[in-house]
């Protein structure tokens, strides 16, 4: 398939892997964080760990929108959806995210709440335009990537004078979360030698916002696409920066990302949204200036104001390690619940829900690595390096 | 199905719709059966017009299977709910290595359903059954009020007979056995998705819906002694099928992604929809587990048949108490192919 196969080429992967193995100096440990869930998924889906030498390790970051959404916000969604006049529209990922008291949106739907899974914000607009007697609320989640489509829906609702449409905004920002990964002085944080920087997010915000990590924290950042070759090439670029003592923002994803990003999208976002002073992230806690809300000019389209949503903070299951996993401090298999009480069928924590979550990716693609390697597994690895 | 012969006016197929009287068991029911189903299925056992079918069976082991079809949309590129209901159940019977003998069909039809659509479905079933050489010999129709169904639901039951000495079963895979897949995967699920109203993309992909008993007969005749089991990877796709076998046989698999064929259009659509073709349904493919020494011969036999011309060996059975289906990705790394969690596509069969 054109524009796909060339980014998944096994022969090219082997030559890049050989370059990494050659250049990753023995006796030195390289620990890189892929910020995005999309990268986590690609690493697991294509078995990229098998292509890396033992001294090059990847740490999964918090860039999974579903995973970082705190329980209280899911509770809000369920409470809203249970109102008889409300139709809640959401991306399907959110349906199984555990809320307080063992609830989730899927169960609320079964109990009679009108919850519709949509592929696009435009589907939600369509529902609002055709079902005028329903209060259609779009539950907006995601990083900078999914913010422009929400902005577009708000614009359309305004233009079409859809008084029955509103948005509950949970959009969050990438750079504050990356800062949180590097930690406040003295706080517990994982060692990160460099970042595989966001792919789709960077198409919107560009590469400039990462300059602070290169200058202030002296960490190299390589913005990379979500295809497996993108990831492997980015890792090689990071190894080279470290070896050469550089800490720069480099762009591996030149086919989609520019330094300035998508200015039209940025303008739309700035026009409709403003920064929240603070927002709670699952696993990372309250992060200042890390999330968006609707500006006063769009208050009529803000479901939080229309329905007077007052988020009640709710605690995670105490045995769930999602918090430490999201901060890269623990691996999925370190959690006592992993694969016992917590699996994609019965997720206890959010990292097990989304396909981009570190736990779900490890469970779905990589958990065979947790056992003592049997002869079979070694054969696979041999083949990979043949 | 009973017959009432004297009637003044025939059904208005072009404009007519199913109403509750068609399910009441009176003349309207009889007329519906006569004019739509009996004429489409046309066979002497059905024409006996009893409430059951009576026939002689050859000696040996019988196979019986039943399956409900609730697919949406009812008509899709490469088939419709009628042909699917015939192929699907024939395939379930055939996966035991059996020769399918007869089918029964039961309809739950929603009030208001157009007679023209019902006739189109019945005609398609009749055609599929005739092509397969497996007659629909008995059936039932029920009508439910508007809003209590979704057009039409069909349940078909099939019986068949297993050749003497043949025993295929899910627990018979052994380490070292070869895994053979009869062709490209994902066509059916993607064809259905492409027609879902809310997805809005156009493709030329057709469902692979087909009756596989002819292919199975060739395989059984030549390599029956070496065959361990056959499965058709429908709902849940190849991934679900391999995981089921691993569980039942207490083994694992090691498969090679590069050897699993996916049409370019299917791969592109999956890419767009965020689906993994390994989990997408097929309705005209089978997986064969066979003793390693017979694998090449079986492949040759399969490739000689139209429905198996793209057959390929995709991996081997390995000893694994944890039943992992491991895959070497085309990219070069390793992963497992897990059970599907949640629902990838609703109502695809």
Per-window interface: B 175-204 vs A, CB < 8 A: 198-199
pLDDT greater than 60 at residue B100: yes
> A14, A20, A41, A50: which to substitute to probe chain B, counting the most B Cβ within 10 Å?
A50
Q: Which domains does chain A have, with CATH numbers?
A: 5-64+190-251 (3.40.50.11750), 71-171+265-306 (3.40.50.11740), 322-370 (no CATH)
A55 touches chain B (CB under 8 A): no
Q: Which pLDDT belongs to residue B343?
A: 61
Q: Are B238 and B260 in contact (CB under 8 A)?
A: yes
User: pLDDT tens across A153-202, in order?
Assistant: 999 999 999 999 999 999 999 999 999 888 765 556 788 999 999 999 99
B271 touches chain A (CB under 8 A): yes
User: pLDDT tens across A111-152, in order?
Assistant: 999 999 998 999 999 999 999 999 999 999 999 999 999 999
Exposure string (b/e) for A251-283, b if CB count within 10 Å is 16 or more? bbbeeebeeebbeebbebbeebbeebeebbbbb
Q: From the CA of A191, how many Å to the nearest CA of chain B?
A: 26
pLDDT greater than 70 at residue B342: no
A47 touches chain B (CB under 8 A): yes
Per-window interface: A 71-100 vs B, CB < 8 A: 96
Contacts of A36 (CB under 8 A, 6+ apart): A61, A63, A64, A196, A198, A199, A200, A201, A226, A356
User: pLDDT tens across A36-95, in order?
Assistant: 999 999 999 999 999 999 999 999 999 998 889 999 999 999 999 999 999 999 988 888
For residues B147-152, average pLDDT? 95
Which of B252, B331, B342 comes nearest A228 by C-beta?
B331
pLDDT greater than 50 at residue A376: no
Q: From the CA of B197, how many Å to the nearest CA of chain A?
A: 11
Per-window interface: B 194-253 vs A, CB < 8 A: 198-199, 252
A324 touches chain B (CB under 8 A): no
All residues of chain A having their beta carbon less than 8 Å from the beta carbon of residue B330 are: 8, 10
Task: Tell me which of B113 and A283 has the higher pLDDT.
Answer: B113
Q: DSSP assignment of A8-70, as one string?
A: S-HHHHHHHHHHHHHHS-TT--EEEEEEEHHHHHHHHHTTGGGGS-TTEEEEEEEE-TTTTS-
A332 touches chain B (CB under 8 A): no
pLDDT greater than 50 at residue B212: yes
Which of B199, B264, B336 comes nearest A1 by C-beta?
B264
Q: Are A282 and A327 in contact (CB under 8 A)?
A: no
Please state whether the predicted TM-score (pTM) of the whole model is above 0.90: no
Contacts of B40 (CB under 8 A, 6+ apart): B119, B122, B123, B125, B126
CA–CA separation, B36 and B17 (whole Å): 13
Assign B344 a pLDDT band (cuts: 50, 70, 90): low
User: pLDDT tens across A210-255, in order?
Assistant: 999 999 999 999 999 999 999 999 999 999 999 999 999 999 999 9
Which of A4, A48, A343 comes nearest B333 by C-beta?
A48
Contacts of B256 (CB under 8 A, 6+ apart): B314, B315, B327, B328
pLDDT greater than 90 at residue A6: no
CA–CA separation, B191 and B80 (whole Å): 11
pLDDT greater than 70 at residue B92: yes
User: pLDDT tens across B264-290, in order?
Assistant: 999 988 888 878 999 999 999 999 999
User: pLDDT tens across B296-321, in order?
Assistant: 999 999 999 999 999 999 999 999 99
pLDDT greater than 70 at residue B7: no
Q: Which pLDDT belongs to residue A319?
A: 87
Q: Which pLDDT belongs to residue A214?
A: 94
B336 touches chain A (CB under 8 A): yes
Q: Which domains does chain B have, with CATH numbers?
A: 20-162 (3.30.1330.10), 178-336 (3.90.650.10)
Q: From the CA of A363, how many Å to the nearest CA of chain B?
A: 8
Q: Which pLDDT belongs to residue A384?
A: 34
- Kindly identify which residue of chain A lies nearest to residue B264, measuring between CA atoms: A1
Which of B326, B332, B341 comes nearest A10 by C-beta?
B332
For residues B125-129, average pLDDT? 98
pLDDT greater than 90 at residue B3: no
> Inter-chain contact B332–A364, Cβ cutoff 8 Å?
no
What is the DSSP pairing of strand B287-290 with strand B178-181? Answer: antiparallel
Q: What is the DSSP letter of B260?
A: S
A66 touches chain B (CB under 8 A): no
User: pLDDT tens across A252-308, in order?
Assistant: 999 999 999 999 999 999 999 999 999 999 888 899 999 999 999 999 999 999 999
**What percentage of chain B has pLDDT greater than the value 70?**
94
- Using DSSP's 3-state secondary structure scheme, residue B291 falls into coil
Q: What is the DSSP letter of A257?
A: -
3-state helix, strand, coil in chain A (%, to 5): 45, 20, 40
Q: From the CA of B65, how many Å to the nearest CA of chain A?
A: 29
pLDDT greater than 80 at residue B4: no
Count contacts between A and B (CB, < 8 Å): 91
All residues of chain A having their beta carbon less than 8 Å from the beta carbon of residue B333 are: 46-51, 384
Per-window interface: A 179-238 vs B, CB < 8 A: 228-229
Q: Which pLDDT belongs to residue A101?
A: 87
Q: Are B239 and B338 in contact (CB under 8 A)?
A: yes
B320 touches chain A (CB under 8 A): yes
- For residue B106, the number of C-alpha atoms closer than 13 Å in the C-beta half-sphere is 10
Q: Which pLDDT belongs to residue B333?
A: 93
Which of A14, A45, A345 comes nearest B332 by C-beta?
A14
Q: Which pLDDT belongs to residue B17?
A: 96
The whole-chain average pLDDT of chain A stands at 91
The owner of tokens 């692979």 is B208
**What percentage of chain B has pLDDT greater than the value 90?**
83
> B334, B336, B338, B344: which to substitute to probe chain A, counting the most A Cβ within 10 Å?
B334
All residues of chain B having their beta carbon less than 8 Å from the beta carbon of residue A344 are: 341-342
Quick count: other Cβ atoms within 10 Å of Cβ A341? 15
């Amino acid at each position: 398939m054109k524009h796909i196969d060339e980014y998944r080429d096994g022969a090219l992967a082997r030559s890049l892997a050989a370059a990494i193995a050659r250049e990753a100096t023995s006796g030195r440990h390289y620990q890189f964080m892929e910020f995005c869930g999309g990268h986590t998924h690609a690493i697991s889906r294509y078995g990229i760990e098998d292509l890396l030498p033992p001294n090059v390790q990847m740490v999964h970051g918090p860039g999974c929108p579903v995973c970082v959404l705190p329980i209280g916000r899911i509770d809000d969604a369920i409470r809203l959806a249970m109102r008889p006049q409300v139709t809640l529209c959401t991306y399907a990922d959110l349906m199984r995210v555990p809320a307080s008291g063992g609830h989730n949106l899927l169960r609320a739907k079964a109990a009679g709440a009108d919850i519709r899974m949509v592929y696009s914000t435009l589907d939600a607009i369509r529902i609002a335009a055709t079902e005028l007697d329903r209060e259609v609320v779009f539950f907006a989640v995601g990083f900078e990537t999914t913010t422009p489509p929400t902005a577009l829906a708000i614009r359309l609702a305004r233009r079409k004078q859809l008084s029955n449409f509103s948005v509950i905004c949970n959009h969050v920002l990438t750079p504050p979360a990356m800062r949180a990964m590097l930690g406040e002085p003295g706080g517990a944080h994982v060692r990160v030698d460099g970042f595989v920087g966001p792919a789709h997010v960077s198409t919107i915000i560009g590469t400039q916002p990462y300059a602070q990590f290169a200058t202030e924290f002296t960490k190299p950042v390589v913005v990379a696409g979500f295809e497996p070759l993108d990831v492997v090439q980015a890792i090689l670029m990071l190894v080279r920066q470290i070896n050469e003592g550089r800490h720069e923002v480099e762009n591996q994803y030149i086919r989609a990302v520019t330094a300035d990003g998508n200015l039209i999208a940025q303008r739309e976002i700035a026009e409709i949204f403003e920064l929240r002073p603070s927002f709670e992230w699952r696993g990372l806690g309250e992060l200042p200036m890390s999330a968006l809300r609707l500006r006063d000019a769009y208050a009529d389209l803000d479901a939080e104001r229309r329905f007077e949503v007052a988020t009640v903070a709710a605690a995670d299951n105490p045995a769930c390690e999602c918090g430490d996993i999201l901060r890269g401090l623990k691996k999925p298999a370190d959690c006592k619940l992993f694969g016992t009480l917590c699996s994609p069928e019965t997720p206890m924590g959010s990292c097990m829900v989304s396909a981009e979550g570190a736990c779900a990716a490890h469970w779905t693609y990589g958990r065979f690595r947790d056992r003592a390697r049997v002869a079979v597994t070694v054969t696979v690895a041999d083949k990979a390096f043949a | 199905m009973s017959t009432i012969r004297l009637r003044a006016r025939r059904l208005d197929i072009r404009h007519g719709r199913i109403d509750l009287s068609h399910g009441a068991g009176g003349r309207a029911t009889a007329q519906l059966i006569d004019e739509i189903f009996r004429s489409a299925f046309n066979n002497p056992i059905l024409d006996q017009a009893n409430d059951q079918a009576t026939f002689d069976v050859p000696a040996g082991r019988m196979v019986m299977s039943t399956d409900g079809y609730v697919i949406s949309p009812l008509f899709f590129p490469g088939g419709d709910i009628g042909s699917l209901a015939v192929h699907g159940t024939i395939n379930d019977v055939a996966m035991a290595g059996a020769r399918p003998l007869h089918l029964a069909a039961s309809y739950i039809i929603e009030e208001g359903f157009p007679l023209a659509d019902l006739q189109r479905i019945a005609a398609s079933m009749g055609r599929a059954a005739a092509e397969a050489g497996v007659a629909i010999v008995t059936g039932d129709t029920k009508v439910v009020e508007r809003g209590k169904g979704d057009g039409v639901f069909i349940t078909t039951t099939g019986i068949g007979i297993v050749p003497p000495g043949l025993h295929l079963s899910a627990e018979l895979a052994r380490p070292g056995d070869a895994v053979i897949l009869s062709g490209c995967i994902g066509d059916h699920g993607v064809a259905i998705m492409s027609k879902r109203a809310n997805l809005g993309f156009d493709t030329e992909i057709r469902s692979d819906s087909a009756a596989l008993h002819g292919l199975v007969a060739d395989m059984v005749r030549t390599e029956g002694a070496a065959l361990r089991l056959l499965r058709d990877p429908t709902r849940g796709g190849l991934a679900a099928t391999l995981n089921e076998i691993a569980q039942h046989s207490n083994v694992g698999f090691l498969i090679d992604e590069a050897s699993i064929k996916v049409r370019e259009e299917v791969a592109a659509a999956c890419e767009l929809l965020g689906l993994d073709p390994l989990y997408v349904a097929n309705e005209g493919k089978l997986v064969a587990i066979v003793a390693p020494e017979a694998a090449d011969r079986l492949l040759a036999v399969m490739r000689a048949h139209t429905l198996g011309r793209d057959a390929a060996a995709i991996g081997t059975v390995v000893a694994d108490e944890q039943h992992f289906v491991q895959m070497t990705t085309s990219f070069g790394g390793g992963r497992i192919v897990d059970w599907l969690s949640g629902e990838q596509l609703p109502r695809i069969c």
